Structures are given as C-alpha cells and as structure tokens.
A and B are shown apart, each in its own frame.
Chain A
Amino acid sequence: MPIRIFFWSLLIALGTVPANQSVMAAQSTPPSILRDDARITKEFQDRVKAYIQLQKQLEHMLPALKQSRDESEIHEHQLALRRLVSDARRHAHRGDIFTKDISRYYRAVIAEVLRSPAASIVQRTIDEKEPSKPIAVSVNGVFPDDAPVQTTPPTLLMRLPVLPMELSYRFVGRDLVLLDNKTNLIVDFIPDVLP
C-alpha cells in the first residue's frame, strides 16, 4: 500500500501544525482491529478487481466515450453502460463484495475512526449534508442523478482500502455504499454502518 504509507508519512511530517494533530492521532491509533488487515484487504481488492474487469468488458461493447461537446452522447453512453452492468449483475446480492468478513472489518475501522481524537471533525463531515429526497439503497439500484453526494471523510479514506477511480465509497444515510462512478449504480453496501 505505497500510497497509504506515503500519506501517513506526509501527515507525520506535518505534525507541527496544530489543526492537523487530531487527524494524525486517528492515523496513529494502534491498529488492534487490523490483525487481518492484509487478508481482508486482499480479498476485497480481488472482488473489486473482478467487478472492474466486468465493467471494462461491457464498456468495450459500446462505442468509446471521448471528450464531447455533445452532452447527449455522454449521457447515452452512461445509460447504455448502466443497462449492461445492471443486466450482467441482475443476480448480484448484498455481500457479494462486502462479504461478512469484509463488512465486519469496515464496521470496525469506521467505529475506530469515530472513537479517535479525529472523531469530532469526521462526524462533522458526515453530518454536513444537504436536504434531499430519501435514497433507496439496494444492490444494482441507481444513485439518483439529481441527488447531492455527501463528502466522504478524508480521514476515513486514508484508513479504508484505496479504490480504483471507477469506484467510490459514499455514505447514504447510515449506510456505506460502494458506488460505480461511471454508471452511478450501487455495487454493494453495508447497512447501518454509522451509529
């Protein structure tokens, strides 16, 4: 995990800045939960890799998406890819990626960050959301195009396995969602991960 090591080193190097201390504390919290860190991260990343392979295969069936002045081209490409992925994963279930083990790990990591000295500013990021219609969370469900996204706390992103650019972690209500950035499809989720 060179990026994580690099980033932790960076934060330690910047430790003289008072505002950063609480974030640093979260980084240096003893990793009691991380006994299985390598195994679980590997398992998670293998599942993510399989998903990305599927997405890429399906995307190759479509005309290549280029930078376009015509938004309708971009929009149609997004909808077409969404249909393909959704159809290919019509039998997908919750837990296909966030398995029981992986879910337990994520819950523990999130709980740990929310108990750390950084908890108050992380919680503030989580709480800072705008009013919107309730979003129904389901595997293969669509994150609505007109719904605002909630900032995913950077402190948490430093602790969780890094995702490829095609995916992101998002909080929706109290659930942690794995979102396909190209199609806005919900790939998997862990319910009630926030207190």
Chain B
Amino acid sequence: MRDYRRQFCSALLLIVLFSLPLSTQQLVLPLHSGSVRFAAIGDMGTGTQRQYDVAAQMAAIRKQFPFEFVITLGDNIYGGNSPLDYKKKFELPYNALLEGGVKFFAALGNHDDAATQKAYKPFNMNGDQYYTYRKGNVQFFALDSNYMDPKEIAWLTKNLQSTNADWKICYFHHPLYSSAKFHGPSLELRAILEPLFMTNHVQVVFTGHEHVYERLKPQNGIQYFIEGAAGELRRGDLKKTTQTAAGYDEDQSFILVEISGDELDFQTISRTGKTVDYGSIQIQKNK
C-alpha cells in the first residue's frame, strides 16, 4: 500500500513538474468582446521537439485566449515537401489547434515549396502565392517576398487602395528592418515596399527569416515585428540597436495579437511559457 502511495506521489510530482512551463503562462491581453485574435509564427517547420513545445504552448494559451487563426511568416516546412514532411512539421505539432478549428494563413519563405504549399488546403492560400482576406475590421495581406515581381506590386497597390478596413496588416518572410546579425534587413524590399505601406496606411508588418523575436520601434509610422523563432532559433543573434524596441533570442517564441477598435495588443511568449514582450499600440485608423 505504501509503495502504491509512493508511486502515486512520484507520478503526481512528475505531472506537476512537466506541466510547470504551461502553467507559468500569464495572459496580459485584454480579451475585448468581439476582438480579432490571432497568433503569429515564423520559421517553424523544423519537426524538432522545440517546434512541438511551442505548438503545445500555443494550444495551452488558447484556453485562456481563444485565438481564431494563425498567420505563418514563411519557412513553414523545412527540408522537403513530401507527405511525411507535412505530417511531421505541420499536422502533428499543430494537431490540437487544427482539431480546435484554428485556421492557418500561410506566407511563403525561402525554404518553402510554393507549388505544393499553395495547393495545401490547411494553409488557406487557395492556389495563390500572395492573397488577402479580411477579419473584422482588419485586412490582411500575405505576400511572397521571395519573388516580388511587378504583378505582385500592382496587385498589392490595388488591394491596399480598395479596402475600407480600419487596419491593414501585411506579412511576409523577409524583414525590412532587422537588428539580427545573420541576415539583416532586406534593403531592396524596403525601398520598394515601405513607400507603398506608408502611402496606403499599412499600420503593422510581421516578418520572419531571422530566427529571433524582435519588435522594432515604429519606422515611418509602421510597427514592424519579426517572429522567426517558432521552430528555428539563432541564440544570441540579436544585436539590439537604436531601432530595437524589444527582442528575445534565448529561446523559441510566438506572438499573440488582439485587435479591437483602434487598439492592438500583443504578447510574445517563449517556448517555456515566459512572457518576453507585451504591449499595446494605439494607431490612428486610416480613413
């Protein structure tokens, strides 16, 4: 009997220990009624335990913050496009989210096979390499920064101009601003895209590619986030500059976002459940 009790206590202790990281999650988002709620992840498709850990954190926090969808910032599936790759690097890690009805809206990275990913229904690309959709008062633009040709620029311009959404959020793989050492910013893309963003009142941009988390100070009125560490990680790669508002390169992470009216709230959470950044952005609605 005593042995059983000891085994029971040991098992209980193990459960408590293993569930500790999940229980450390503290939601700071306001949970406004009717708000647009989503998560942002990039460079996640590694199939490693760390990707699964991040996915588990996302599933756990969703009980407190029921986000409806996830935007992916590219490098969704590393190292091949076989059915096994999709299973190991997407379907299994995010199974709890997929089963819970969470939709993924993918943008392509430089490690992604465009032909297969845009036909893959769970990525919701509907056969397009770039596309737009609306959630509440927010218009999202998923762009292909690997191949920004005149057709894509013309399409983006037209759609940025034609939406009457209060918020315009663009996301793609290559960052226009970055303080990470490995890649750095894509200056050519910045020269082409930033004027379009400014003219057409894009308020927030999410990118990946750098395997860190970084929130830039607003640049020309635009809030830039990098979240390229939801599977990959370049520990110590972030060299914070005067452009950096906050950053984290010690572990994998993901971002939660809530938009209500003219307020955007965000919370960045590490693989172990630690909140590494949070804040609120008040942005003038574009009229």
Number of A residues, CB within 8 Å of B: 51
B contact residues around A14 at 8 Å (CB): 195-196, 199
User: A99 near B: Cβ within 8 Å?
Assistant: no
Residues of B within 8 Å of A190, CB to CB, are none
B188 contacts A153, CB within 8 Å? yes
CA distance A17 to B194 in the complex (A): 9
Taking a contact as CB atoms under 8 Å apart, the answer to whether A72 and B188 are in contact is no
Measured CA separation A148–B110 after assembly (Å): 5
Decide yes or no whether B153 CB sits under 8 A from chain A: yes
Q: How far is the CA of A5 from the CA of B103 in the complex (A)?
A: 38
Nearest residue in A to B124 (C-beta to C-beta)?
Answer: A67
Beta-carbon nearest neighbor of B189 in chain A: A154
Q: Which of A4-20 contact B (CB under 8 A)?
A: 4, 6-7, 10-11, 14, 17, 19-20
Given contacts A72-B83, A148-B111, A151-B186, contact A17 B145 (CB under 8 A): no
A125 contacts B188, C-beta separation under 8 Å: yes
Chain A nearest CB from B125 CB (Å) reads: 9
Q: A157 contacts B146, CB within 8 Å? A: no
Given A65-B119, A78-B115, A145-B81: A157 in contact with B191 (beta carbons within 8 A): no
Asked if residues A67 and B146 are in contact (CB atoms below 8 Å), the reply is: no
Residues of A within 8 A of B122 (CB): 69
Q: Which of A147-179 contact B (CB under 8 A)?
A: 148-155, 157-158, 162-163, 165, 168
Among A65, A78, A151, A168, chain B packs the most CB atoms within 10 A around the CB of: A151
Q: Is the CB of B149 within 8 A of A154?
A: yes
Does A124 count as interface, using CB distance less than 8 angstroms? yes
- Is the beta-carbon distance between B146 and A152 smaller than 8 angstroms? yes
Question: Which residue of chain B lies nearest to A180 when distances are taken between CB atoms in the complex?
Answer: B115
What residues of A have a CB within 8 angstroms of the CB of B188 in the complex?
Answer: 23, 118, 121-122, 124-125, 153-155
A17 touching B195, Cβ below 8 Å:
yes
Which B residues lie within 8 Å of A182 (CB)? 115
Determine the chain B residues whose CB is within 8 A of the CB of A154 once the complex forms.
148-149, 153, 188-189, 192
Instruction: Give complex CA distance A10, B111 in Å.
Output: 31
In the assembled complex, A74 has its CB within 8 A of some CB on chain B? yes
Q: Tell me the B171-218 residues at the A interface (CB within 8 Å).
A: 174, 183-184, 186-192, 194-196, 198-199
B174 surroundings in chain A (CB, below 8 A) = 151
Closest to A170 in B: B147
Q: Is the CB of B150 within 8 A of A67?
A: no
Residues of A within 8 A of B66 (CB): none
Chain B residues with Cβ under 8 A from A157's Cβ? 147-150
Whether B153 pairs with A165 at a CB distance below 8 angstroms is no
* Chain B residues whose C-beta falls within 8 Å of the C-beta of A72 in the assembled complex: 83
Chain A residues closer than 8 Å to B19, beta-carbon distance: none
Interface residues of A in 92-150 (CB under 8 A from B): 118, 121-122, 124-125, 128, 130, 145-146, 148-150
Do the beta carbons of B110 and A130 come within 8 Å of each other? yes
Q: Can you report 10 residue pairs joining A to B where beta carbons are below 8 Å apart?
A: A3-B151, A7-B153, A10-B196, A20-B195, A66-B119, A72-B83, A78-B115, A128-B184, A157-B149, A162-B151
10 new A-B contacts at CB < 8 Å, known A149-B110, A154-B153: A3-B151, A10-B196, A19-B194, A67-B126, A118-B188, A121-B187, A122-B188, A151-B147, A154-B149, A154-B189
